[in-house]
Amino acid sequence: MAIYKLNQHSSESEPSSVTLTDGSGVVLCIPFDNDNTDYKDYLAWVAAGNTADAAD
Amino acid sequence: MSGIRVNEWLHNSGTGGIWQTSAGNVGIASSVPTTKLEVTGDAKISGVTTATSFLSSQGQLSHRRINMNGAMQVWQRSTSASSTGGSNGYFAADRYRSSNNGSGRHTISKDTDTPTGEGFGHSMKIDVTTAVASPSANNYNFIQHRIEGQDVAQFAKGTAGAKQYALSFWVKSPKTGVHVIQWEDVENSRSVQGTYTIASANAWEKHSIIFPADTSGGISCDGSHRMQLYFWLFAGSTYNDGNVNSLGTTWASTGSISRASGQVNVFDNTSNNFYITGIQLEVGSVATPFEHRSFADELARCQRYFYMIADGSVATGAAIADGRFLGATEVDFMVSFPCTMRSTPSLYQVSGADYFKIMYAGYNQYVDGNWTIQYAQPNGCSHYATPDATGVADKPAQVILQNSAARLGYTADL
């Protein structure tokens, strides 16, 4: 299980956010926004060869 | 009248003396005073000074402090975060980020230990809970303050008119000796370092560092992460060769050894506690007295980066928002933020079984898992979650925080 999991609402055609659960006790739900620091960290994680878990 | 000497030094100390012109202008260390009194150098007046107005030739009289939460007033996420060091981020004091590499662990807490008579109510305490007596090469720990490009525009960095940076702060360190502060231009990967030397362990000391102006490397005037301060607490050999002469004290490309060489090890013992408050970064060659702000002012500034809408440790049973059942298995609610956040924020949450109550028409249901953010933008967002039992579609509902450990907030920090 990856630390990131994509979120896709039933009304959406593709995921619009990703949830980070890193064991810190705080869960972040991160919107796909290029100015968001957490989203930049997610993109860097993906660029390092990782893949988020698919949305339910 | 005889005996009035003009256009010559009135004191035999030469250029350091007093000069009077035939027009009656007086210069102190100036032979060409163009106003009634002109002083070259510093002036110290022990009494009250009044004037029609004061015109500052550099910097400004108010809003001088560029960094936020310098007096450690705002702690929205937590007033005590233990066992930090396993990851990097914002855990306790607003706007001050903790970074660690290695096995060192510490508790960050809001403390009432402050320098006497300076008007500070709180400091940030770093309590070492897992020591690193012999750091590995890549080990380090530092406190960081990140700043938007548009908030450092007044330094005119990268231009011929670039200004100096005056940093001042109060600190109480368990270690005597050299401590390092790095000031980094993230946009152009340039850094300059400065040191302060602790004379007495475990005693409050005020220090200031004047970083040189940088005529290279312009900074974009925008809301992105462009510059950052590092308060180094220890560093392994990759960043610290133990020789302060290796430290880069002029602007240059961000290096490794040049970043923290000479830094003492604040993490070498679990009895070590490091305190800091009164941090002020301002334009110019002089560190002026700390600019205090009201709590409301400082909180509002911090809420551009983080907004805690509900904290169970403050109040359980607290209302969060009006919501509704979008369908039988989905509850939604919307929130407007108290100010425009720096970017579209992430949803910050601590959740668990029955942490959030959905109350409608005499019924209570609960959200056990996580909320998902949707339709977010810097002024507000929507959320959705699946309650633990089927509800009635289109029913209005109230969303209530239900557990003392529950948290719900929004983060758009740098």
Q: What is the mean pLDDT of residues B329-346?
A: 96
What pLDDT is attached to residue B62?
Answer: 87
pLDDT score recorded for residue B368: 85
Query: How far apart are the CA of A18 and the nearest CA of chain B, in angstroms?
Result: 9
Q: For residue B228, is pLDDT > 90?
A: yes
User: What does the pLDDT read at residue B1?
Assistant: 47
| pLDDT reading at B376 higher than 60 | yes
Tokens for B345, please give them. 């924020």
Q: What is the mean pLDDT of residues A22-37?
A: 93
Rounded to an integer, what distance in angstroms lies between the CA atom of residue B145 and that of residue B132? 23
Per-residue pLDDT, B130: 97
B95: alpha, beta or left, given left = phi > 0 and alpha = psi -120 to 50? left
- pLDDT at residue B56, rounded to an integer: 79
pLDDT in tens, B157-192: 999 999 999 999 999 999 999 999 999 999 999 999
Task: Please report the pLDDT score of residue B360 as a whole number.
Answer: 87
Taking CA–CA distances from B88, the nearest residue in chain A reads: A24
Average pLDDT over residues B401-407: 93
- Per residue in B66-76, pLDDT tens? 999 999 999 99
Query: 13-42 in A: which are within 8 Å (CB) of B?
Result: 16-17, 19, 22-31, 33, 35-39
Choice between B31 and B299, residue whose per-residue pLDDT is larger:
B299
Contact B370 A17 (CB under 8 A): no
CA-CA distance, B392 to B374, in Å (whole number)?
21
| Rounded percentage of chain B residues whose pLDDT exceeds 90 | 80
Maximum alpha-carbon separation in chain B:
104
Predicted ipTM of the assembly: 0.97
pTM for the full predicted model: 0.91
Place of tokens 């362990």: B201
Most confident listed range (B18-27, B240-249, B315-324): B240-249
Counting one residue from A and one from B, how many pairs have CB atoms under 8 Å apart? 67
Residue type, B310: A
List Cα–Cα distances, B288 to B64, B116, B156, B292, in angstroms. Answer: 9, 18, 20, 12
Tokens of B134: 């012999």
Residue-level pLDDT at B4: 66
Interface list for B 220-239 with A (CB within 8 A): 223-225
